[in-house]
């Protein structure tokens, strides 16, 4: 009689013990990117709601929430800004600039969120895996290093979200606080090196 083997136990635990501290740091940084991105999208929603009808903020939020994607939400906001604000308005120009920067940062956010860090760590953090990820995405991550990218990206998203929040509430009063200077987005100026093929594990 053949002795039946016990079924393999499928773990529900994060594989920290196999990878160690680099994976702990990677998970933390990824969570910070997600939180900061959602903060920015929320402030863009506030800008849309205030432009639509400052006396009925809930109306703007409801319309925003019904739009199915982040990119489509930003496209609707661009249309609202152009319709609601005068062509030479500083607020208009600053909001359009902020939305454009959010669009640029979205690619890097997607690189982080939609890539698997695998089980290997290098000097720059977890080494991105090419399993299920486009080569261009893996190449961008490997050329910068996941740790540097996520640290810069989180800071950029937080600064941009505060900048948009101030613009959302700007009403042109003489006693209002001055709008902060445009943040310099470090993610867009990171030094890149050619991706090494042996990183694509």
pLDDT of residue 135: 85
pLDDT of residue 151: 95
pLDDT of residue 200: 37
pLDDT of residue 133: 84
Tokens of 183: 């943040």
β-strand partners of 122: 125
Give the span between the Cα atoms of 201 and 192, in whole angstroms: 19
Mean pLDDT per 10-residue segment, the chain (201 residues): 78 77 88 97 96 94 96 97 94 96 96 85 81 86 88 97 92 65 93 55 35
Question: Please, which residues have CB within 8 angstroms of residue 83's CB and are 6 or more apart in sequence?
Answer: none
pLDDT of residue 175: 53
pLDDT of residue 15: 75
């Amino acid at each position: 009689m053949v002795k039946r083997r016990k079924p393999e136990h499928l773990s529900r635990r994060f594989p920290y013990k196999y990878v160690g501290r680099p994976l702990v740091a990677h998970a933390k940084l990824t969570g910070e990117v997600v939180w900061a991105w959602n903060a920015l999208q929320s402030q863009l929603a506030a800008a849309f709601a205030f432009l639509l009808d400052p006396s009925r903020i809930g109306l703007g939020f409801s319309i925003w929430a019904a739009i199915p994607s982040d990119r489509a939400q930003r496209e609707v906001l661009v249309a609202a800004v152009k319709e609601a604000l005068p062509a030479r308005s500083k607020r208009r120009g600053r909001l359009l600039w902020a939305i454009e920067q959010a669009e640029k940062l979205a690619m890097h956010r997607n690189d982080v969120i939609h890539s698997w860090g695998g089980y290997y760590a290098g000097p720059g953090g977890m080494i991105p895996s090419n399993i299920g990820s486009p080569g261009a995405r893996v190449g961008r991550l490997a050329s910068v290093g996941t740790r540097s990218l996520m640290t810069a990206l989180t800071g950029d998203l937080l600064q941009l979200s505060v900048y948009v929040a101030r613009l959302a509430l700007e009403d042109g009063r003489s006693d209002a606080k001055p709008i902060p200077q445009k943040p310099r987005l470090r993610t867009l100026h990171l030094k890149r090196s050619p991706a090494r093929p042996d990183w694509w594990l």
